[in-house]
Amino acid sequence: MFPENFLWGGATAASQVEGGFDQGGRGLDTQDMRPGNFQCTRQQKNDWKYKKMTREKFEKARRCQEKGEYPFRWGSEQYTHYQEDIALFAEMGMKVYRMSVSWSRIYPNGDDERPNPEGLAHYKNIFQECHKYGIKVFVTMLHYAVPVHLIDAYGGWKSRKMIDLYLRYARTLFEQFGDDVDYWLPFNEINAGRFHPYNGVGIIEEEEEHVDQTVFQCLHHQFIANALTVKLARSMVPGKPVGCMIARFCHYPATCSPEDNLTQLQDEQYTNWFYTDVMVRGKYPAYMDRYFRGKQVSVRFEEGDRELLAAWTVDFVAFSYYFTQVSTADANWEKTDGNLVIANKNPYLKSSEWGWQMDPTGLRITLNQIYDRYQKPVFIAENGLGAVDRLEADGSVHDGYRIDYLKSHIQAMGDALEDGVDLIGYTPWGIIDLVSCGSVEMSKRYGVIYVDADDEGHGTFQRYRKDSFYWYQECIRQNGNVKLI
C-alpha cells in the first residue's frame, strides 16, 4: 500500500527539455556542445565513439552559434511551453515535479558576480505555475550542464575553485527560491563522473594523462560541494530536505561461484555504494583504499574536508533505475547496452529497443538494499522506458509497452513498501518527451506526453497525451493500486 502523501510525479532536466539556449541571457553549457550525429545509425549513436566528447568536437560546437546539429539547444522547447506542460502535469494529478535549473541561465559564465535577472524570473514563473496547481517542486541544482566558460577557465571540476562557484550558485537558488522549492538535490547521478566524465565532471578524457586520478579528484570536489550545500541549506532553507542521487547499477552474480559473488560485491561497491556511503554516512569507505591503490589514485584532501563530509550528510537517498546487469569474472560474457555503460547480459531478462534490460524485481531488490543500508527515506528520481512511439493521425499514441513497464515497476514499489522500505516518491523520467542524454536524439522517448519534434528539431513541438498519460493519471488517482487499473 502506498502512503496517503506519496509523491507521484515526473522528472525532466533543463538541458534536455528546456531549449531556448540563446534566449533570456543564458550562456552556453556543456550539453549544448554535444552533437546529434544526425547521419549516424541508431547503433552508431550508442557507440562510445559518438557519445564521448573530444577537443575537436568541443571546438567545432563552439564555432556554431546557431542551433545547428545540437539538439540540446532546442530540447522540447519547454522554455516557451512551460505553462502548457505544467497544466498537463496538473491534469494528470502529479504531486511533484522534479526539474533542474540551468546553471548557465542563472550565471551565464558560471563565475559572474551577479545572477542573470531574466534567468531568475524564468524559474520563478515555473515555480509559481506549479504552486498554482498545488504541485510540489523538487529541484536538481546540477544535472550535467555546466557553463562552458568554467570548462575553459578552470578545467571543470578539476579545479577546487569550482566548489566556491557552485556554492555561489547554490546560495542564489536558496535566496531566491527558498520558499518555492520543497526538495533539493545538489547533483544528478553523482557517480556519472566515473562512467561519463564529460557529463559528470566536465573533463575531456583524451586530454587527461591519468583519467582515474582526475575523475576521483573531481568527484572529491563534488562531494565537498555537496557537503557545503547541505550546510548552507541548513541555515538558509531550514526544514527543506536535501538529498543525494546516483545512477543505480543493480548487479546479479552470473553464477554461485565465489569469484562471481566477489565480483558482484565489488561492482556494487565501486559503482554504487562508494558515492552514497560518502554522502549518507559521511566518510570514504574502507573498501576504496584498495581500489585506489590498484588504480594508483591518490585523492587530495584539504584540511577540514573529512570533518565537512562527516558533519553535513543528506536527508534522503535518490536514485535512477532503468535496468540490471550481471557481474562475472568471465571477461567474454555477452554484452548489451545500459545507461551510459556497457552491461553484461542476463538471459532471464528482456531488453528495451536500446538494449537496456528491464527488471522490475531488481527495483524491489534495490529499494530494499538501499533502505536496509541507510535507514533514510528513499526516492526514485528516475525510471522509465525509452522507446520509439508513433503519433497517429488523430493525435493518439498507443504505447501499451510503456504502460506495462510502468505498471510492473510500480507493482515492485508497492511490494518494497510492504517489505518496510520508506519509499517517499516516484518521478518517472522524461515524463514529457525530451532529448535523450546518452544518444542525443528525440526518437528515444520516455514521456507519457508526446512532443511533436524529430531528431533534427523539425516539427510543431505540440504536445499530445499518450495512452500512458491516461493510465498514469488513473494510477495516481488510485494511489498506485495497479490491480484496479
Query: Which of 2, 9, 13, 116 touches ligand BGP by CB under 6 A?
Result: 13
207 is catalytic: no
Nearer to ligand BGP, 104 or 263 (CB): 104
Of 101 and 120, nearer to ligand BGP (C-beta) is 101
Catalytic hit among 382, 392, 441, 456 = 382
Sheet strand arrangement including 378-382: 183-187, 136-142, 96-100, 7-11, 423-426, 378-382, 316-320, 243-247
The grid coordinates listed for 91 are: 491534469
- Is the CB of 232 or the CB of 247 nearer to ligand BGP? 247
How many CB atoms neighbour CB 365 within 10 A?
A: 17
d(CA 177, CA 175): 6
**Quick one: 69 or 189, whose CB is closer to ligand BGP?**
189
**Least CB distance from residue 73 to ligand BGP, whole Å?**
16
x/- letters, 442..471, toward ligand BGP (CB under 6 A): --x---------------------------
Binding to ligand BGP by CB under 6 A, coded x per residue (else -) over 170-189, reads ------------------xx
Using CB under 6 A as the binding rule, whether residue 429 contacts ligand BGP is answered as yes
> By rule CB under 6 A, what string of x and - marks binding of each residue 333-372 to ligand BGP?
------x---------------------------------
Instruction: Compute the distance between CA of residue 24 and CA of residue 412 in angstroms, rounded to an integer.
Output: 43
The neighbouring-strand residues paired with 324 are: 250
Distances (CA, A) of 458 to 12, 78, 370, 455: 21, 15, 42, 7
- Confirm or reject binding of residue 438 to ligand BGP (CB under 6 A): yes
Question: Are 345 and 333 spatial neighbours (Cβ–Cβ below 8 Å)?
Answer: yes
Instruction: Tell the smallest beta-carbon distance from residue 433 to ligand BGP (Å).
Output: 11
- Select 438 or 447, whichever has its Cβ closest to ligand BGP: 438
Name which of 221, 364, 208 is nearest 302 in CA terms.
Answer: 221
What amino acid occupies position 101? V
Which residue of the chain is nearest ligand BGP when measured via CB? Answer: 438
Least gap, CB of 260 to ligand BGP (angstroms): 26
- Minimal CA–CA distance to 76: which of 392, 441, 384, 466? 441
CA dist., res. 263 & res. 222, Å (int): 27
User: Which amino acid does the sequence have at 348?
Assistant: Y
The residue (of 176 and 439) whose beta carbon lies closer to ligand BGP is 439
Q: Rg of the Cα trace of the chain?
A: 21
Compute the least distance from the CB of residue 209 to ligand BGP, in Å.
27
Q: Which of 191, 272, 411, 436 binds ligand BGP (CB under 6 A)?
A: 436
Judged by CB under 6 A, the stretch of 21-29, 176-184, 341-349, 435-443 that binds ligand BGP is: 435-443
The dihedral over CA atoms of 64, 66, 70, 73, expressed in degrees to the nearest 10, equals: 130
Instruction: Establish whether 303 is a catalytic residue.
Output: no
Distance of CA 252 to the CA centre of its chain: 23
* Closest alpha carbon to 34 in 307, 437, 377: 437
Element (H, E) at 370: helix 360-374
Q: Comparing C-alpha atoms, which of 413, 408, 476, 401 is closest to residue 445?
A: 401
Strand, helix or coil for residue 230? helix
Would you count residue 122 as binding ligand BGP (CB under 6 A)? no
Shortest CB 444 distance to ligand BGP, Å: 5
Asked whether the beta carbons of 375 and 442 are under 8 A apart, the reply is no
Site track 262-291 with ligand BGP (rule: CB under 6 A), x = hit: ------------------------------
Which stretch in 58-66, 73-81, 324-332, 431-439 sits in contact with ligand BGP by CB under 6 A? Answer: 431-439
**With respect to ligand BGP, which residue has the nearer C-beta, 142 or 417?**
142
Site for ligand BGP, residues 216 to 255, rule: CB under 6 A: 247
Catalytic residue among 189, 208, 307, 353: 189
Cα dihedral across residues 292, 297, 303, 307: positive or negative? negative
Which residues bind to ligand BGP, rule: CB under 6 A? 13, 16, 188-189, 247, 320, 339, 382, 386, 429, 436-439, 444
- The catalytic residue positions are 189, 382
